[in-house]
């Protein structure tokens, strides 16, 4: 770490929690890929869609740090990785889709777009036979927050219905994880990684009110699904939101 962080006057490294919070994104991504055994043997190109990315979080980590370059370091050198940052909250100046070099073997593209529109405009990328995986960091769509859910639940349904592996992380288990798993159950989503704690979660911790058991920490939990197994049409967004609210602990 001495090559990456400056030492203080006494020659010691000072590591702020925010440093590790930023690193949590890339490390959580690689950890999830390892758990679901991606990329497959012989794969030469991997596309990672960061669904719901925003200027203040994922984009900022990309612009101001080299953390996402760790993806190329930790994955096989023979795999070329493209990170697609997709979300309506990507900054307008960055959201053109132009290629940005992250590290040797790793490229980023940013799109100011809803995920549903992005899927429709890039159908080949979401072919189940393609080497594509989506990752949503702290989407919050299971939290019971109506405004957030209305914006994102439909996009999440579109993602799951593509049949590609979809990884989701949550900041807590009593609200976000509980609500999301209720939504996935209603969708008939098939788990390829059961809900579990993430060893590479963020360091900064937020407590709601005075209840210290109600803690939020970025990337604290994760799970992954691939495709659905349900009879009948997809439940309406309103029904999925109700299911999430009923599941709140």
pLDDT tens digits, 51-60? 999 999 999 9
Q: pLDDT, tens digit, for every residue of 10-33?
A: 777 555 656 678 899 999 999 999
Range of the domain at 148: 20-246
The three-state DSSP-derived secondary structure of 137-166 is CCCCCCCCCHHHHHHHHHHHHHHHHHCCEE
Asked whether the beta carbons of 226 and 194 are under 8 A apart, the reply is no
Is residue 121 situated within a structural domain? yes
For residue 79, tell me if it sits in a domain: yes
- Per-residue model confidence as pLDDT tens digits over 195-238: 999 999 998 877 666 665 678 899 999 999 999 998 889 999 99
- Asked if the structure places residue 1 within a domain, the reply is no
Q: Within a domain: residue 136?
A: yes
State the total domains in the chain.
1
CATH number assigned to the domain comprising residue 235: 3.40.50
Is 45 in contact with 82 (CB distance < 8 Å)? Answer: yes
- Among residues 242, 223, 219, which one has the least CA distance to residue 58? 219
Would you say residue 68 lies in a domain?
A: yes
Separation between Cα atoms, residue 187 and residue 160, nearest integer Å: 9
Question: In the chain, how many H helices and how many E strands?
Answer: 7, 10
Model pTM? 0.90
Structure tokens at 68: 């996402």
């Amino acid at each position: 770490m001495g090559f990456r962080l400056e030492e203080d006057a006494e020659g010691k490294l000072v590591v702020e929690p925010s440093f590790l919070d930023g690193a949590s994104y890339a490390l959580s991504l690689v950890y999830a890929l390892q758990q679901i055994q991606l990329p497959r043997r012989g794969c030469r190109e991997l596309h990672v869609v960061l669904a719901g990315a925003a200027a203040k979080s994922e984009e900022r980590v990309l612009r101001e740090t080299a953390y996402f370059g760790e993806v190329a370091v930790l994955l096989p050198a023979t795999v070329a990785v493209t990170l697609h940052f997709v979300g309506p909250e990507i900054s307008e100046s960055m959201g053109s889709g132009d290629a940005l070099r992250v590290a040797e073997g790793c490229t980023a593209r940013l799109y100011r777009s809803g995920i549903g529109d992005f899927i429709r405009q890039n159908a080949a990328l979401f072919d189940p036979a393609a080497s594509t995986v989506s990752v949503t960091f702290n989407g919050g769509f299971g939290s019971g927050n109506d405004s957030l859910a209305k914006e994102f639940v439909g996009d999440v349904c579109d993602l799951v219905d593509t049949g590609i592996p979809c990884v989701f992380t949550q900041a807590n288990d009593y609200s976000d994880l509980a609500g999301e798993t209720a939504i996935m159950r209603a969708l008939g989503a098939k788990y390829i990684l059961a809900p579990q704690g993430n060893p590479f979660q963020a360091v900064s911790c937020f407590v709601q009110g005075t209840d210290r058991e109600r803690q939020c920490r970025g990337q604290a939990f994760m799970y992954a699904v691939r495709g659905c197994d349900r009879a009948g049409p997809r439940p309406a967004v309103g029904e999925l939101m109700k299911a999430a609210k009923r599941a709140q602990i």
